[in-house]
Structure 1
Amino acid sequence: MRIGRLTLAAAALLLVTTASVPSGSPLSQTERHAALSSDAIQPRGAAPRPVVQRSRHETPFGAFVGSWDTYIPNIARMANWLGNANMQVGHTYLAGNSWQDVEGEPVVLGLWSQWRQADSSRKLVLGVPMLVPNEGNLPDAEVARLLARGTRGEFDQHFLKLAHKLVALGGGDTVITLGWEMNGVTYTSRCKPDPTAWKAYWRRIVTVMRSVPGQRFSFDFTPNRGLDAIPWTRCYPGDDVVDIIGMDSYDQPAGGTFDSYVSEPYGLEDQVEFAAKRGKPVSYPEWGLFRNGDNPEFVRRMVEWMRTHDTAYQTVTDYCPHGFWQCDRNPRSAAVFRQLMSGSAGAVPAPAPAPSPQPAGR
């Protein structure tokens, strides 16, 4: 589905699709151990471990309530359901069916950017595919060929057009979850077919988008939690091209516990330690219920985790089976989420940095 192209006063904003449902092919125990012995995550208990705990605090939060601009009013409706909570984060996605999608539908991008500009404490989070078709079930060999083309700059112009549109429409400070869930198998924008090329391509896209005057984009590296098709550390493209280290975290697999989600290889604890070593915040662009039904304990523990770590933002996926407001399958979890988030004032914006002193004589 695509909306009609309208002419807005400033030339409008962005096209998006439905949120992803995390999936992947878990590796065997042998493969897990081999991966763990060969990348940047230290074995549990190794020293020194960075300090990751913070005193309890509010973080900017929101929800994925739908991709098109027509869903924007749902943010206010959900905030009202939460006792007029200050939902500071709007989360949406580019569809990724074609390169035109990746360049951004002006009307949609414009209206989401207007929502962002209405309050200086708000964040706009935009999922941007790296390859198209992003959900085309392409074989690994074809993905590898596309990644190689990306590293040669064949797709640069599409990301350049997107960056120019965002800046022109007031979305120059958008948080971009580029190639989200790259460690899985769901999307064409995945890493496993050629991790070296994937990292080089990420770096190229970030360089292209940062070249646009007026941009202040933040790039969020957002794998699935845990060891999916490939350890996400093997896909990490470098501290200079990553601003936030995110993680999509659903309560899966079936029978899993929150403690296991913390301690599993490439889980929540590994994420926050990996980020702390690099001086970067974490995020949770997608989280919610999935494989264990109505699970209020997961909700309670997840919110507490986000409030006690250096979390840049969090957005629950609010449709069935994951969410609480638009999904009536999870009444106990919805009650807990509502209790925890109701009336939240959100996060207090950090003060603007003082201007750097000028050398004497200027």
Structure 2
Amino acid sequence: MQPSWTQANFAGWPGRLVISVPPFPENSGHTLTACAAGAYDSYWRTFGQTLNTTGRQNSIIRIAWEANGNWYQWSGSNPSAYVGCWRHIADAINATADPDPMLDWTINAHYSQNPASHNPLDLYPGDNWVDIIGIDAYDHYPPSRTLAEFNRQANDIGGITWLYNFARAHNKLFGI
């Protein structure tokens, strides 16, 4: 909520920051369900005001990234809670940051442990809340030893090309 090390360290830098933010502190008892009910909105409004005071409204804010995995406490095992939480965060930031920052919804590439459908699009917050659709694609897993392997993985659900096509169909920027 308060200015971070990144914002202070890059205070005079003219570039655009990419700031990844969890929906709540981990290991704190906070939940997606409470977030979706608006319990943390005041913190996110403060975060938006902090963007104003640090002159970083032009930042890209990656909210609750890789929720299609199972390694974060905000993993999307409950899609409606995840989507509701994401929307509350986006609305709170946009209500206070002026102008609005770019909000980035990012999945982890390839297989989705969450949600139960294994389709990460079931976690998409919606066009009204998302500016950038992104993917965290790591080149070590699964390996692409041939062009055919790469193309298959890229076009499968959760692949780079598959998500790029989704982003283009929704007139969104795409980030890798």
* Shorter-normalised TM range: 0.7 to 0.9
Q: Aligned partners of 1:162, 1:109: CA distance in 2, in Å?
A: 12
CA apart distance, 1:159: 1.2
TM-score after normalising by structure 2: 0.86
Report how far residue 254 of structure 1 moved: 4.6
Unpaired runs of 5+ residues, structure 1, are 1-102, 285-362
Show the 5 A alignment for 1:68-87.
Answer: none
* Distance (Å, rounded) in 2 between the aligned partners of 1:271 and 1:254: 17
User: What's 1:124 paired with?
Assistant: 17
Moved >3 Å (runs of 4+): 104-108, 254-257
The residue that corresponds to 1:185 in the other structure is 70
Q: What corresponds to 1:24 in structure 2?
A: none
Give me the TM-score of the superposition, normalised by structure 1: 0.44
1:266 corresponds to 2:158: yes
Cα 1:108/1:262, change in 2 over 3 Å: closer
After superposition, residues 288-299 of structure 1 pair within 5 angstroms as none
Runs of 5+ consecutive residues of structure 2 not aligned to the other structure:
none
Task: Identify if the C-alpha distance between structure 1 residues 106 and 210 changes in structure 2 by more than 3 Å, giving closer, same or farther.
Answer: same
1:167 alignment counterpart: 52
**1:109 matches 2:2:** no
Residue by residue, what CA displacement relative to the aligned partner does 1:327-356 show, whole Å, maximum 9, x if unpaired? xxxxxxxxxxxxxxxxxxxxxxxxxxxxxx
Residues 141-185 of structure 1 show CA distances to partners (whole Å, capped at 9, x for unaligned) of x77xx1111122111121111111111111011100100111101
Q: Identical aligned pairs, as a percentage? A: 24
Q: Secondary structure at the match of 2:12?
A: helix
Tell me the secondary structure at the aligned position of residue 96 of structure 2.
coil
Indicate if the aligned counterparts of 1:106 and 1:165 stay in contact, CA closer than 8 A. no
Q: How far apart are the structure 1 equivalents of 2:10 and 2:69?
A: 28
CA distance in 2, matches of 1:269, 1:255: 16
Aligned 8 A contact 1:114 1:170 in 2: no
Rg: which structure is higher? 1
Cross-structure match for 2:32: 147
The aligned residue for residue 196 of structure 1 is 80
2:122 corresponds in structure 1 to 234
**Residues 268, 107 of structure 1: CA spacing in aligned structure 2 closer, same or farther, 3 A cutoff?**
closer
Q: Cα RMSD over matched residues?
A: 2.0
Cα drift, residue 110 of structure 1? 2.7
- CA deviations on 1:313-333 (whole Å, 9 max, x unpaired) are xxxxxxxxxxxxxxxxxxxxx
Q: How many residues align?
A: 168
- Counterpart CA distance in 2 for 1:233 and 1:164 is 30
Residue in structure 2 matching 1:215, options 92, 96, 99: 99
For residues 36 and 97 of structure 2, what CA distance do their matches in structure 1 show?
Answer: 23
Give the drift of 1:228: 1.8
8 Å Cα contact 1:132-1:188 kept in structure 2: no
Tell me: CA distance 1:254–1:218, structure 2 relative to 1, closer, same or farther (3 Å). closer
The 3-state SS of whatever aligns with 1:222 is strand
**Aligned partner letter, 1:163:** G
In structure 2, which of residues 42, 45, 49 is the aligned counterpart of residue 157 of structure 1? 42
Q: Against the structure 1 CA distance between its residues 273 and 126, is the aligned structure 2 distance closer, same or farther, given a 3 Å change threshold?
A: same
C-alpha deviation, 1:107, in angstroms: 4.9
How far did residue 263 of structure 1 move? Answer: 2.2
How many angstroms apart in 1 are the aligned matches of 2:38 and 2:156? 37
